[in-house]
Chains A and B, each alone.
Chain A
Amino acid sequence: DAGVTQSPTHLIKTRGQQVTLRCSPKSGHDTVSWYQQALGQGPQFIFQYYEEEERQRGNFPDRFSGHQFPNYSSELNVNALLLGDSALYLCASRKTGGSSYNEQFFGPGTRLTVL
């Protein structure tokens, strides 16, 4: 099992551009969450996808959007990039279901630099 995988590893963009980041969940997982981690800070929750729909969203503008595919993989799209969007973007997956909350597993992250 490859665990949670993300691509690309690193990415450099300029202000105003658009970016797409990709995540494949751990085998057997159906729920994907995205987090933004600015330098020196803890990660911040962006949104969560389950059954191809956005189920929960953190305090991020509409420039941040996403998608989940039938195979449970997910994309994070950011439009009109700002310098402040430079961060490590983390994807986490878990299996939804049962009576208790199931553990999340994290990917290695995509380092986005906006110039």
Chain B
Amino acid sequence: KNEVEQSPQNLTAQEGEFITINCSYSVGISALHWLQQHPGGGIVSLFMLSSGKKKHGRLIATINIQEKHSSLHITASHPRDSAVYICAVKGGADGLTFGKGTHLIIQP
């Protein structure tokens, strides 16, 4: 069973700061998702990665398959980025395995 660890669990930053959220997993995977969840509960998929790096607007996601590690970066952070960011991995047969999430608060 894959273990997915995220850090930090909670992060408070000032508007404009560069944000990094980390995800480590224990077993080889076929894909890794970065997801965003707002207080209402719905989940939005930000990225799906199997190698390398992806960029969308102010968001950048990277993955190192050998080290079993991924990072999500937010540049020029804004209060509307405040949310829970969840890392989820696709390995074997049992659907996605999720981390517990990182609670991000961006203060004006």
Contact = CB atoms under 8 A, between A and B. Distances in A.
Interface of A: 33, 35, 37, 40-45, 47-48, 56-58, 88, 90, 92, 100-101, 103-109, 111
Interface size class of chain B, counting residues whose CB lies under 8 Å from the partner chain = 20 to 34
B33 A90 contact: no
Interface stretch (B56-64, B67-75, B96-104): B96-104
B43 A45 contact: no
B61 to A, nearest CB: 13
Contact of B41 (A40, A47, A101, A108): A108
Contacts of A41: 100
Given A56-B94, A101-B90, 16 more contacts: A33-B95, A42-B4, A43-B43, A43-B86, A43-B98, A45-B97, A56-B93, A56-B95, A90-B43, A103-B33, A104-B33, A104-B45, A105-B45, A106-B45, A107-B42, A108-B42
Interface of B: 4, 30-31, 33, 35, 40-45, 48, 50, 86, 88, 90, 93-101
Nearest to A106: B43
Contacts of A100: 30, 50
A88 B88 CA distance: 17
11 contacts: A33-B95, A42-B99, A43-B43, A44-B98, A45-B96, A58-B94, A90-B43, A100-B50, A106-B44, A109-B41, A109-B43
A104 to B, nearest CB: 7
A58 B93 CA distance: 9
